[in-house]
Structure 1
Amino acid sequence: LKELIPKEEGAKKPHKKFKDYAPGFIHIDVKYLPKMPDEKAHRYLFVAIDRATRWVYAKVFAQKTAANASAFLQQVIAAAAFKIEKVLTDNGKEFTDRFCATGEREPTGRHRFDLVCKEHQIEHRLIPPAHPQTNGMVERFNGRIAEVVATTRFDSAQNLEKTLHHYVQMYNHQIPQKALGHVSPVQALKNWQQKEPERFKKQVYNLSGLD
């Protein structure tokens, strides 16, 4: 598929530069997927991207719920070769109880997503309300997913998921990133592992992006 041909990320236009971080700061977001001919309802793509290396992990879920968000985070933790120290999300109910019937409040810490963060000693950061650009890194990746979905015909949910899997794998292994000095995310991970092996919990090779 020509829309899946690797092209250099970040080559079109400059974006505001994020503060430099080592691997372990993950941005997470959820993308609405169109309903396929063999589906009764649309599904959601949960996406996690590492700020330092642009490594991506993604998973399709039937619903955008706290249970699925926390399960997704557990999968990201298991899949990542590095130790996750921080996670950035928006203020959706699947991620936080920051907003309730009485308005905005401090998160209680009892939300299922926060409990997973606490279990793994991960700091959960929330973007400011009405400022989605704060999570712009994963938003831009979701824009690329939107292009693939909009320019490809799918006859089944399985076909859609297979295409997304293919794209994420290519993104991680083959697409050079301008912000990374024109190397792929997996190569960036390998470079970081050579430089700071203490940040990693397993060897970087053939990391999956979508199960």
Structure 2
Amino acid sequence: KEFTDRFCATGQRQPTGKHEFDLECTEQQIEHRLISPGKPQTNGMVERFNGRVSEILKATRFDCRADLEATLLRYAHVYNHHIPQKALGHTPPIERLKGYYQTSPELFRVKPINHRGPDIYTQLAGKY
């Protein structure tokens, strides 16, 4: 099965794990997933999220890297835990994940938990 990959000259490839981007994802402990052909709505959701992050970056002045990182981590927390998504039945992503976990826990490596707030993100940002 071929998957779309904008990092490949042909736009199509089999995920091998040897691509430069895959290697970087592995190093950062990120699971790189490719979308199936004919599913542009998946890419649209990612592009919309990236556009919102871009708006924050354009509208905010950061004094240091730690401020930038803390802002991005806070936004990711707010987006995932508090902003309802139309594509998810007007629920935040964490609520949908918790629902999936109830019906198919074997698909998860970690149980999705709705943390109270972004305190850990503020602590992480202070390390840099």
Q: TM-score, normalised by structure 1?
A: 0.40
Which residue number corresponds to residue 6 of structure 2? Answer: 90
Which residue number corresponds to residue 85 of structure 2? Answer: 177
The one-character-per-residue Cα deviations of 1:39-88 (angstroms, maximum 9, x if unpaired) are xxxxxxxxxxxxxxxxxxxxxxxxxxxxxxxxxxxxxxxxxxxxxxxx86
Q: Residue 155 of structure 1: SS of its match in structure 2?
A: coil
Which residue number corresponds to residue 165 of structure 1? Answer: 73
What is the RMSD of the two structures over their aligned residues, measured on CA atoms? 3.8
How many pairs align? Answer: 107
- The amino acid of 1:90's aligned partner reads R
- Alpha-carbon distance in 1 for matches of 2:32, 2:62: 38
Find 1:142's aligned residue among 50, 53, 61: 50
| Structure 1 residues not aligned, in runs of 5+ | 1-86, 92-97
- Alpha-carbon distance in 1 for matches of 2:89, 2:35: 29
More relative contact order in 1 or in 2 (CA 8 Å, sep 6+)? Answer: 1
Deviating beyond 3 angstroms after TM superposition, the runs of 4 or more aligned structure 1 residues are: 104-110, 122-128
Which residue number corresponds to residue 188 of structure 1? Answer: 96
- Alpha-carbon distance in 2 for matches of 1:125, 1:202: 21
- Residue 166 of structure 1 deviates from its aligned partner by 0.4
Alpha carbons of structure 1 residues 125 and 174: separation in structure 2 relative to 1, 3 Å: closer
- Alpha-carbon distance in 2 for matches of 1:105, 1:180: 28
Kept in 1, the 8 Å contact 2:5–2:12? The answer is: no
Identity of aligned residues (%): 42
Which residue number corresponds to residue 205 of structure 1? Answer: 113
| Structure 2 residues not aligned, in runs of 5+ | none
- The amino acid of 1:152's aligned partner reads T
Alpha carbons of structure 1 residues 156 and 89: separation in structure 2 relative to 1, 3 Å: farther
Kept in 2, the 8 Å contact 1:88–1:135? The answer is: no
Kept in 2, the 8 Å contact 1:89–1:135? The answer is: no
Q: Residue 45 of structure 2: SS of its match in structure 1?
A: helix
Q: TM-score, normalised by structure 2?
A: 0.62
- Alpha-carbon distance in 1 for matches of 2:35, 2:99: 29
- Residue 89 of structure 1 deviates from its aligned partner by 4.3
